[in-house]
Amino acid sequence: MTLVSSPPSKASPHAPAASRGPSLAALRTSFPEGTIPVGIALLIAGIATYAFFIVGEKGVGGADEFRPLNSLWFATFALAPGFFLPLEQELGRAIGHRRATGQGGRPVVAKVGRLGLALGAAVVVTLLAGGSFLANEYFDDDWVMVAALIVAFASYAPAHLARGVCSGSGRFRPYAIIMGADGLVRLALCLILLVVGVEAVGAYAFAIAVSPLVGIAYVAYRGQLHTEPGPEASWKEVTPNLGWLLLGSVFAAGILNAGPVLTNLLAPDGVDDSGRTWDSQVSDFGKGVLLARIPLFMFQAVQAALLPRLSRLAASGDFVEFRAGLKRLFYLVIVVGVVGTVGALALGPFALEKVYDAKLEGTTLAILAAGSACYMLALALAQAVIALKGHKLVAIGWVSAGLALALGTWLGSDEVFRRVEIGLLISSVTAVFFFAAALRRRLDSGVRPDDASVLEAFTDMPFET
């Protein structure tokens, strides 16, 4: 999340820095406009996500019946952020640039809107063309789920574009409303279905599909997506790094959500040797992936607190402190990742059973948490590389990680879940090493960040809470 503020005002010459703490005004300026509402929205969206998996499973009648919803969830968030986050980034960057120069952003919105429509149509056509495979192999012969996936993908296109308009215009409260309303509306619809006794999986699937539209409609009704007329926008203005951002985002979002998708495709039908159905095990694995993502959820809070300061350092040209700040951020990410992995090993099975009534081994949860921690570190490194204008390197890095995922899953093990866990861990470790090398190369080359590259870096978050 990008929350770029103006540089902090200078301290009063009458206040000795060594003897006095920061004033109330200084504390407020240390958190730029939008940090608090967006932080609240992230918290709401995260809690709503975890609650959805509880309510949804109860609504449809159990873990076996929940498997299609589990599959729909991770497929949706492998596709939507992957394809539409780069449009949000470039739209926000272009509007922000025009805003700084006193030009209206409406032509930019129209240009990116047409691009988003074309990109979304291409993906929808591809999904329709592969509908038989999706229905038969992924959704257990359920075409309703295919339709829900297409509607969900299409619904997130305007959501990301609206977020781009809000971020570029500095309207972070509407941004937070769009983000938070998505999770709340989804949960509210599922609760209504549960209370009235609806058990049809398709009804819950469409609750996922349409939930982002409510927040957009509310914000649009209030006129908070308004942009002013301005000079005609060229394609160069709105797409200087779009290709590399798109390639990297598609692979990054795909890797993050690949675990439940792959287990759904690789798991056989029926029951295993212990008598447990594979449907319930796939559902439990998806819940384990969510539990392992708690460090990633914490990473968003870390960003909201630390990255605005890095953006100010970059804008002011203090690159020595910028590098020191990056190091502190990476150390904090490592600590959070280690704590999350150890916690998953020691307490994960207990927490998973208490929260979701699901069963996974501590080793499985620890490997998933380690993969999530490495992904979090890779994401932080990738954002730093983007800030240093290394968009191409980031795209290549995520593609390399995707290839590592395929290789690790293929050769890692004969057991369904373990081979996926190993593949996920190997892919994230590959990304960490690639981006660490790329960051050192960019720093040693003397490349310096600017406002635009910092903006793109801090919005490069290819996942939804």
Tell me how far apart the alpha carbons of residues 184 and 212 are, in angstroms, rounded to a whole number: 10
User: Is 190 in contact with 59 (CB distance < 8 Å)?
Assistant: yes
Asked if the model's pLDDT at residue 223 lies above 90, the reply is yes
- With a pLDDT cut of 90, the percent of the chain lying above it is 51
Span 434-444, mean pLDDT? 90
What does the block give as tokens for 449? 């960040």
Span 56-73, mean pLDDT? 92
Query: What average pLDDT does the chain have?
Result: 84
Span 182-188, mean pLDDT? 94
pLDDT at 461: 64
From residue 199, give the alpha-carbon distance in Å to each of 21, 62, 63, 72, 423: 57, 10, 13, 16, 35
Tell me how far apart the alpha carbons of residues 196 and 206 are, in angstroms, rounded to a whole number: 16
3-class state of residue 13 by DSSP: coil
pLDDT at 460: 63
pLDDT at 455: 61
Span 359-375, mean pLDDT? 93
Cα 207 vs. chain centroid, distance in angstroms?
20
pLDDT at 305: 53
pLDDT at 9: 38
pLDDT: which is higher, 184 or 458? 184
Read off the pLDDT of residues 305-326 as tens digits, 9 standing for 90 and up: 555 566 566 656 677 777 787 7
pLDDT: which is higher, 28 or 279? 279
Helix residue ranges, H only, 130-241 = 131-133, 143-169, 172-196, 201-221, 235-238
pLDDT at 71: 92
Lowest mean pLDDT among 1-10, 87-96, 117-126, 268-277: 1-10
Q: At what angle do helices 63-101 and 278-292 cross, to 10 degrees?
A: 30
Span 56-72, mean pLDDT? 92
Tell me how far apart the alpha carbons of residues 332 and 298 are, in angstroms, rounded to a whole number: 11
Span 8-19, mean pLDDT? 40
pTM comes to: 0.84
Span 430-434, mean pLDDT? 96
Q: What are the residues facing 277 on neighbouring strands? A: 271
Q: If pLDDT is split at 50, 70 and 90, which confidence band does 442 have?
A: confident
pLDDT at 307: 56
Q: At what angle do helices 416-444 and 391-411 cross, to 10 degrees?
A: 160
How long, in residues, is the chain?
465
Tell me how far apart the alpha carbons of residues 245 and 377 are, in angstroms, rounded to a whole number: 18
Phi/psi at 169 (5° precision): -90, 0
As a whole number of Å, the CA-based R_g of the chain is 22
Q: If pLDDT is split at 50, 70 and 90, which confidence band does 443 have?
A: confident
DSSP 398-419: HHHHHHHHHHHHHHS-SSHHHH
pLDDT at 167: 83
Tell me how far apart the alpha carbons of residues 122 and 80 are, in angstroms, rounded to a whole number: 13
Buried-state track 242-257, b at ≥16 Cβ within 10 A, e below 16: bebbbbbbbbbbbbbb
